[in-house]
Each structure stands twice: as structure tokens, then as C-alpha cells.
Structure 1
Amino acid sequence: MNQIIEYKNIGKSYQGKWVVRHCNLTINEGDFLCIVGTSGSGKTTLLKMINGLIVPDEGDITIFGTRVIDQDIISLRRKIGYAIQGDGLFPHMTVAENIGYVPRLEGAPKEEVDAIVERMLSLVGLPLDSKEKYPKELSGGQQQRVGIARAYANSPKILLMDEPFGAVDSITRYQLQEDLKHIHKQTDCTIVFITHDMHEAFKLGTHILVMHEGKIQQYGTTEEVKNHPSNDYVKQLVEMTR
């Protein structure tokens, strides 16, 4: 397996309080990593360091073998898909314009952008006639699918997802989880996915990172975490899923 993301003794503080410290972690190409933990445990901080939205106060993070701080941040972000809760779509743009946004920025010709849009709609299971609709004309689940399609549109090697299904109903969430598992198998993109839900983490992830109070409690394959919790905190989370 090729290493794609590495955290080296990472630390980040806000107003004198460390939210993450002494974090060392390697993520390999093709992994589906679910980061689990309570609010304030450092999950989103770790995620946003990958695309440079947050800069560590200590240590280094490398992406594609190069330190983030040594890379052109705009170019890096265009290689990394980003999907958040509530989809983050541009309300004044059609579905097609939202999905094709980054390829257009990269200078792709119209014919190529159109082909990407159609391919992405097919990937996330949306009909082609949704291209000219605006986000407000779609259901919450459809909007979330468009958000995923936009995140994948530039064929990213890495996809960051910050609780993307937290704002949809349970039935829609189940279907989106199934769709995302299928998409991951089709594309083999490396996914870093934040969730509060251990059930969701076990369902989706190839690997799980459990965070608590800014420290890694356990990192391993889904089976390792499920069958061999490293401490009482992780054991308690696992038992809640049984």
C-alpha cells in the first residue's frame, strides 16, 4: 500500500488550549478512514489540516509525499474533494454548474465538463434531467448526492467528508451510506470521513480512528477496533453498537 497522508507529531492549540497534540498517523492510498469521537475531540481539526484549512502549530503533515506548507495550497485543494454536512452547494448555480465548478476552474473545455457532469450524476444515482435544476428544487438526499458528485468531479485522490449525512433522515442516510460504499469500491479514492456514529463508522470504514480530548485512543482496521478495543473508552463505544 502506498502512503498518501502522514501526520508527524502534530499539535494544534486555540487560545492556549491544545485541541490536538502528539498526533502521529499514516493513511494509505485507497483507505476509507472513519474518524470517531465526541465534539471537541479534534476530529475536524485533523481533517482540515489535510487541505490546509487549518495549519498545525507543531509537527508536519505530508500529502502525496510533500509537506502541505511546501505546496501551492490552491492547487492542492483542487486535488482534494470536500463534502460537508448540508452539501455546501452554490444556491444560484444549477446542479450541472455546481458539479462542473472545479473542472471549469481547471480550464477543462465545455464538452469535457459536460461529460464529467453526466458521469458524476450516474455515479451518485441521479437522473440526467436533474442537471438544470437548482439545489432548492431537490430533496435533502438529492442535494447531498450532488455535493458528493461535486467533490468527486475532478477525480480527486483524496475525499474529505465532515459528517456529510448528519442533516438527513435515517432512511436517506442509510441509502447514502450504501451509495458511498459503492462509490468507494468503484473509484478507490482515499476517503477521510468524520462521524459521531460508531454504527456508521463500522459500516463504512476500512479503518477507524477514535479520538478523545485531542488524543488518539485507537487506530486500526475496522475489525481490529471492533474485536480488540484498546482501552475502556473505545470498548464503551464499541459496546454501544451491539
Structure 2
Amino acid sequence: MAHGNFDLQGKVAIVTGATRGIGQGIALGLAQAGAHIVCVGRSDDTITRAGVEQLGRKYLNIRADMAQKESPDMIVRQTLEAFGRIDILVNAAGITRRAMAIDVTEEDWQDVLDVNLTAVFFMCQRVARQFIKQGGGGKIINIGSMTSYQGGIKVIPYTASKAAVRMITMHMCNEWAQYGIHINAIAPGYIETDMTAAMRSEPERMAETAPRIPMKRWGRPEDLAGAAVFLASDASDYVNGFTIAVDGGFLAKS
């Protein structure tokens, strides 16, 4: 049960990538705080649906490939048909391609940027237009990464996309704050998801990263929920254009 300024009771939240991983953890956290959930994704949504509906919230699943240009308009249209309004957008859908920079192909580069950057911008734009039409503003949360702040290894298309997510979040704040739109980002640390499975299978990389986390563990998707509820709620009404790290202290350690 949410309290006071953290209460999202009756709010309508679109969460892309909500069928698993970070998106799922955030969607369930928003539902716990009172929000109805529009789950956007390509994989099975059974777990997300069950978690949201058990909390007594309304739920809509939209199957969409975020790399497709028509997806933002389709997602907004179906959400409005079901709920009549939008209050929160979380852009959590993302992909990566693991290769050394010297070996990255043009196809891999473009695939990652299409989902992690281009789709994020046009979802923000489309929902911001709806917020302006509705009046009263709204909340947008983008998902960055530690690579929004530092380079990474074997993920240069991902690094490029997540660094850009941080910067476009700042830019959109500058233009849209006048409409009451709050747009911030969360930079997750090392999180146990399907996306990080390949990295977690590499003993050398695990041995390298483990000592760098002051909290001595990798994060879990549910660890992102608190920051998301804060940024989606009235409690963050004077926070705008900022990227919050949820990383177990990783970025604090030199």
C-alpha cells in the first residue's frame, strides 16, 4: 500500500519491456503503489499479468516490437482506447549485442540503437503530446545504465544508446517542463536479468565486477521498483532531467 505523495492509485502506466527483467520489476512495483499497468513486450506476459491482477489493478497487454516505427502510435492508441488517458511512461525495453568494438557489425549497431534510443525518443514524444493534450503534465522514466556514465566493455552499441538516453532525457526536460512533464531516468547497475546472462557466464568478467560493487551483490529487477515509484509519483515533483543510479554503489567506487 502506497502512502501520501508516493500513492499512484488510479494512475495509468505504460511500461515497455514489462514482460520480464527490469521492466517487469518496475511494472509490479508501480502496481503495488496503485497504478494500472499497460504491459508492452514481445514475450509471454503471464507472470506480469498475474502479479498485477493479484493486486487488483487493471491490466492491458500490448504485443509490440519497439524497433518498428509504428509501435509508439499503436501503443498510445490502444492505451487510450482501454483507459482514456496516460499518466506514466516507463521506457524499459532494451536489447544488447556483445562484441568487441573492432568486431561490431553495422547491423548490430543499428538494431541496438533502433530499440534503445530511437524507440525511446519517439515513445517519449508521442506520450508527451498526449500529456500536453490532457493538461496537467505527466511522468516519463527512461532506463539508462551505468554505461550512461562510463564506457563498458564488449557493448559499444549499448553504451552509445544509454549515454544518449541520459542526454536526451536532459534535453526533453528543458523543453517539456513548462507543460508539467517530468522526465527522468534510472541507471541500473549490474542486474540479474536475461540480458546479463551472457556476461554472468564469463568467469573473468564476474571476477572483475564483483569487487567493484560495495553492496557485494548483483541487483534484482525488484530493486528498481522504489526509484520508479518515486519518479512516477508526486514525491518527485521537483525532480526533472536527472538520472538516478540504482547500482549498489558501483559508481561511487573508484
TM-score over 0.5 for the pair: no
Return the structure number with greater helix share.
2
Return the structure number with greater strand share.
1
TM band (smaller chain): 0.3 to 0.5
Q: What is the TM-score when the length of structure 1 is the normalising length?
A: 0.34
